[in-house]
Structure 1
Amino acid sequence: MLQEVAGIRIPDTQLAKDAADILREHGDNLLWNHSNRVFLFGAVNVRKTKQHYDLELLYVSALFHDLGLTKKFNSPDLRFEVDGANAARSFLQQYQIPDESIRLVWDAIALHTTPGVAEHKEPEVALLFSGVGLDVMGDGFEQFPADYREEIIKAFPRNNFKRDIIPAFYEGFKHKPETTFGNMKEDIVKHFRPNYKNKNFCDCILHSPWTE
């Protein structure tokens, strides 16, 4: 395990090591490298604001944020973000972590695909969101220090990430496309199934059981 990348210390507590082992066991190299880049991007980003945050909680959030895509933690009917958040909560509860810290991690994971909300919450939540946005869509690419960016990618390579992440997302929720209603992952379903239609919000209102 690397000890430091881009000036960020990789957490090496037993909790952090155990979290890394879970991702290694149930994820793959795509999720491993992506999750670590997300952590590092978020941790570097906080230097701009100098906010106080918990490095270990951010690390665990990053490692678990896409575990809901894996067979081990994928439910039949919940959003994959919630599956990952629930897995992180169960994991942290084994270590007598304070409830407030567990809630932060749960929120960070559950909201990591929810723009307009996550970035306005606590630092751990906002930092995970920013790290995901940078790695997946390049949000803030030009503002991120190029030398740190290259060091992070060298440590955790992208390896055709743009090509592979979309089908990886789809594999995680193709059996429950209805869970993408109202969130950006609906675009993933439509990428593979162009004729797919989720329920429509206006129809939900107009066809509700209310008489007026």
Structure 2
Amino acid sequence: MTNFVADIKIPDSQLAREAAELLREHGDELLWNHSNRVFLFAAMKGNLNQIQYDSELLYISSLFHDIGLTPAYRSADKRFEVDGANAARDFLRSRGVPEDSVRLVWDAVALHTTIGIVEYKEAEAALMNFGVGYDVVGKNFDLISAEARQKVVEAFPRDRFKHDILHAFLEGFKHKPETTYGTINADVCEWLLPGYKRPNFCHQVLHSKWDE
């Protein structure tokens, strides 16, 4: 694997390599390339804004952020983000990583789709959310130069990413669509899951068991 992409060093500590091997084992090329792009775009944002961050923890968070979509880690009843966060927590604890770092990575993974909150968390969580938004929907697209984007995509190709990632999302939670309530993932179910009807919060309030 290339150590530097667009002047960003990809962490190569023992911990980082083991995390990468785990994603390689249980993910596919789509998730591998996406997760690495997320890290690179996140790191670029951090460097551009002169934000202090732990590159190793940012990288590991990026590698685990979608692993909850995979058959090895998807649960029957939890949000896929929580599945990924729990997998990251187990991985880090098994290697003796301090609890403060474990909690930071858990938050980064669990909250990475929680728009409006995660960007106010610690640097690693906020930056990874930026990387996810940048790679998935092109949020703040012009913040990173075309040259840097090209280098990232050459190293970790997109290959119809904008089409295939939606199906990858659905595959990860189509057996538990109720876990997408109140999140952007409900949009995926509404778009791709036959027969899915999005729950409505107002309906739930007005039809609760309260008698007034």
TM-score bracket, normalised by the shorter chain, equals over 0.9
Please report the RMSD computed on the Cα atoms of aligned residues, expressed in angstroms.
1.2
Q: Structure 1: which amino acid aligns with 2:144?
A: F
Q: Structure 2: which amino acid aligns with 1:182?
A: G
Q: Does 1:204 align with 2:204?
A: yes
Structure 1 residue matching 2:205: 3-state secondary structure: helix
CA distance in 2, matches of 1:121, 1:167: 29
CA distance in 2, matches of 1:166, 1:199: 20
What's 2:52 paired with?
52
What's 2:110 paired with?
110
**Stretch of structure 1 that moved more, 115-124 or 197-206:** 197-206
Task: Indicate the percent of aligned positions where both proteins have the same amino acid.
Answer: 58
Q: Deviations over 1:143-197 (max 9, x none)?
A: 2122111111100000111121111110000000001100001010011136422
What's 1:136 paired with?
136
Q: Does 1:73 align with 2:65?
A: no
Q: Does 1:4 align with 2:4?
A: yes
CA distance in 2, matches of 1:198, 1:6: 41
8 Å CA contact 2:64, 2:109 repeated in 1: yes
Q: Which runs of 5+ in 2 are unaligned?
A: none
Q: Structure 1: which amino acid aligns with 2:86?
A: N
What's 2:181 paired with?
181
Q: Which runs of 5+ in 1 are unaligned?
A: none
Q: CA deviation at 1:203?
A: 2.6
**Stretch of structure 1 that moved more, 190-199 or 46-55:** 190-199
What's 1:24 paired with?
24
The alignment's TM-score, normalised by the length of structure 1, stands at 0.96
8 Å CA contact 2:190, 2:198 repeated in 1: no
Q: CA deviation at 1:51?
A: 1.4
Structure 2 residue matching 1:178: 3-state secondary structure: helix
8 Å CA contact 2:174, 2:193 repeated in 1: no
CA distance in 1, matches of 2:79, 2:193: 18
Q: Does 1:155 align with 2:144?
A: no
Q: How does 1:27-46 map to 2 (within 5 A)?
A: 27-46=27-46
**Stretch of structure 1 that moved more, 141-150 or 62-71:** 141-150
Structure 1 residue matching 2:141: 3-state secondary structure: coil
The number of equivalent residue pairs is: 212
Q: Structure 2: which amino acid aligns with 1:125?
A: A
